[in-house]
Amino acid sequence: MVYKLVYENLKHRPVRTLLSSLAIGLGVTMMLALVGVGEGMLEDQANRARGVGADLVVRAPGSSVVGMGSLSMNQKILDYVRARPHVTLATPIGIHSTGGVSSIMGINYDEFAAMSGGFRFREGRQFAAPDDVIIDDLYAREKKLKVGSVLHTMNRDWRVSGIFGSGKLARVMIPLTVLQELASANGKITMIYVKLDNPANTQAVIDAMKQDLPEYPIYAMEELIKQFSVNNLPELKAFIGVVVSLAVLFGFLVVFLAMYTAVLERTREIGILKALGAGPGYVLGILLRETVLLAVIGSLCGIAMSYGTRWLIATFIPASMIQAIVYSWWPIASLITLAGAVLGVLYPALKAARQDALDSLSYD
Amino acid sequence: MTIIEIENLRKTFRSGDVDVHALRGVNLMVQKGEFLAVVGRSGSGKSTLFHILGGLTPPTSGTIKIDGQSLTSLDEAGRTRLRRNSVGFVFQKYNLLPTLTVRDNIDIARDIAGRSEPWDATFLEVLELLGIAQKLDRKPRQLSGGEQQRVAIARAIVNQPAILLADEPTGNLDTENSNMVLDLLRHLNKKTGQTVLMITHDPEAAAFADRTVQMRDGELHGA
Ligand SMILES: Nc1ncnc2c1ncn2[C@@H]1O[C@H](COP(=O)(O)OP(=O)(O)OP(=O)(O)O)[C@@H](O)[C@H]1O
Ligand SMILES: [Mg+2]
């Protein structure tokens, strides 16, 4: 019976119901989009790292696990690594940040292609001239580039010579020697990817290398990939915390406003219910149920809208961002929003529950 | 059998710095199954008496009993129980919930009283009598004023209250609809033995009752 009243009340003011649900949903979408982008990008990074085909990686001393790194490792280490037993291929990588999360990567084309199982070019081919650049298909799509297009980065113009299928660590690649020259870092590299005769030897090789290179972080690729998790990105975790708080506040404010005006609008109805013998609990229950229903509808809207943000991201900035759909966050985001909503209805509901029946039934 | 016993009932409102003595020692006995009309000038205290009887507001002093239960010492929760179980209210403005159908308006009163069994044959007869049995799925705004008031009456008695309090139930109705509602109240009173107390300004309306008492300046005369 109470549900009927709640349902009729929601139906009675469809615009209010719709707008409140959408506003509540926005909070849910905010959380889902952020968590989805975090997960999506980490997953993508992991996949691209896997795409290198290496068994282990040697990084510069002091570099972070998931960070991009810079040209800070002496290239001479390469000779040492290549001379290790079981090493069949070792190739240096140079990474130069071009601002924000974008970077450009320098490779030894033949070695890198051999290790990663070869580039699959959708268009064009590998670099032939020093100002040639190869890019992946997502980057090409986002920046609307074709073979022969000009790409401006690192203060100069590059000619796109090839577009390859993504999944090869970086989206924009130039020859390592060109990168070193431009960055004034001759003889410097960022890391070394290493392929072994048999992956089973990975731990043994790492242990042996660590004896000689105690300063150098050396990871098995499988280990490294496991590090691509939100837990290792304190900034992202903190940001998720901020957005969760905002979503709670958002749900609180929306519901507070919607239910407060509803209570004002319904003083008469509340008075009638009280005259019929409804106690404070009964009135409280009605408003609480209405709020929960609004939050549920809002959460469904929010989940639906998170598919919208994913579509927007995939359509307009596929190379910069990837949003995954993180199902496990559906109930989390919904509950967080519900918590905000319930906090928001408390004051209006208490006001309604305490309302004097006579105040609103005065006869004029 | 006496169903209402009121002795020296007083109610004083404090409005600003002045005390308004709305009831100044009211005495009244009502028998079970009686149909009583309360008449009196505007501001004489009629509604105040009904509000106290209906548990909408506490008295200032005096004794008041409904069906043997004293109201004097009831707290807010006790008055809520009284409204839920012992009295039915009909107001001048029909006071139906606008978003609910006739059926649901009646059922919400039952839900509040914690009852969920289907309507019994007697109540279905009452609905027929009130002429709303065919309009149960309409919303209040699809009904005339007279029909809305009859729904309000049905809702007021659905939980078989000890007393039905009607505060100017025909105040907003034309003569034809007034007579119909009054006729129904009397019919209901005779047929089911429902005790009815009705406030009215209209001597013709009062004539439908078994007995009429007069409120004058917070005191009842002819009780
Ligand atoms: N909540 C209140 N606060 C202050 N004074 C009140 C309050 N309610 C009623 N009164 C006063 O008490 C007196 C009796 O009012 P009441 O409403 O009982 O009169 P009534 O006989 O029902 O009048 P009417 O025929 O106009 O409905 C009036 O002087 C009124 O102004
Ligand atoms: Mg009155």
The domain boundary, picked from A186, A216, A246, lies at A216
Residues of B (70-109) whose Cβ lies below 8 Å from A: 77, 80-85, 89, 91-93, 95-100, 104, 107-109
pLDDT at A363: 47
Is A5–B112 a contact, with Cβ atoms under 8 angstroms apart?
no
Q: Same domain, yes or no, for A186 and A256?
A: no
Nearest CA to ligand 1 atom 3: B13
Asked if B106 and B148 count as a contact pair (C-beta separation under 8 A), the reply is: no
Distance from CA of B209 to the nearest CA of A (A): 23
Q: Which residues are placed with Cβ below 5 angstroms of ligand 2, an ion? A: B 47
Same domain? A39 vs A103: no
Q: Is the pTM of this model over 0.80?
A: yes
Of ligand 1's listed atoms, the one at least distance from the Cα of B215 is 21
pLDDT at B180 over 50: yes
Q: Is the residue at A228 inside a domain?
A: no
Where is the domain boundary, A169, A191, A216? A216
Domain membership of residue A50 (yes or no) is no
Structure tokens given for A207: 């242990």
Q: What average pLDDT does this structure show over A260-275?
A: 90
Same domain for A85 and A202, yes or no, is yes
Determine the atom of ligand 1 nearest the C-alpha atom of B48: 18
3-state SS assignment for residue A241: helix
For residues A186 and A325, membership in a common domain is answered with: no
A73 and A202 part of one domain: yes
Domains observed in chain B: 34-59+73-221 (3.40.50.300)
Integer Cα distance of B142 and B148 in angstroms = 9
For residue B222, the model assigns a pLDDT of: 82
Report the percent of chain A where pLDDT is more than 90: 65
For chain B, give the number of residues.
Answer: 223
Which residues contact residue A38 at a Cβ distance below 8 angstroms, ignoring those fewer than 6 apart?
Answer: A230, A233, A236, A240
Cβ atoms within 10 Å, residue B50? 23
Tokens representing residue B166 in the block = 């009607």
- How many angstroms separate the CA atoms of B79 and B88, rounded? 13
Q: What is the mean pLDDT of residues B169-183?
A: 90
CB atoms B111 and A275 under 8 Å: no
Q: Does a structural domain hold residue A207?
A: yes
Compute the Cα dihedral for B51, B52, B57, B61 and give only its sign. Answer: positive
For residue A127, give the 3-state DSSP assignment. Answer: coil
Domain identity same for A88 and A165: yes
The amino acid present at A303, given as its one-letter code, is I
Interface test with A, best of B49, B90, B97 (most A CBs within 10 A): B97
User: What is the total count of domains within chain A?
Assistant: 2
- Nearest Cα of chain A lies from the Cα of B1 at a distance, in angstroms, of 26
Task: Give me ligand 2 centre to Cα B167, in Å.
Answer: 7
Q: What's the pLDDT at B83?
A: 93
SS3 B118: coil
- A134 and A204 in a single domain? The answer is yes
User: Searching chain A, which residue's CA lies closest to the CA of residue B103?
Assistant: A1
Min Cα–Cα distance to chain A from B171, Å: 10
Read off the amino acid at residue A1. Answer: M
Chain A hits for B113, Cβ within 8 Å: 277
Q: Count contacts between A and B (CB, < 8 Å).
A: 77
Which residue of A lies nearest to B156 if distances are taken between CA atoms? A276
Contact B95 A282 (CB under 8 A): no
Segment A39-51, tens digit of pLDDT: 998 888 888 888 8
Do A178 and A86 lie in one domain? The reply is yes
Examine residue A54 and state whether it is found in any structural domain, yes or no: no
In a domain, A221, yes or no: no
**Does B21 have pLDDT greater than 90?**
yes
d(CA A127, CA B163): 97
Does the structure show a pLDDT above 50 at B57? yes
Where a domain ends, among A216, A251, A282? A216
The interface pTM score, or ipTM, of the predicted complex is 0.93
- pLDDT digits 0-9 by tens, B122-174: 899 989 988 999 999 999 999 999 999 999 999 999 999 999 999 999 988 89
The distance of Cα A256 from the centroid of its chain, to the nearest Å, equals 30
Q: What pLDDT score does A364 carry?
A: 46
Same domain, A189 and A70: yes
Mean pLDDT for all residues in chain A: 90
What is the residue range of A169's domain?
61-216
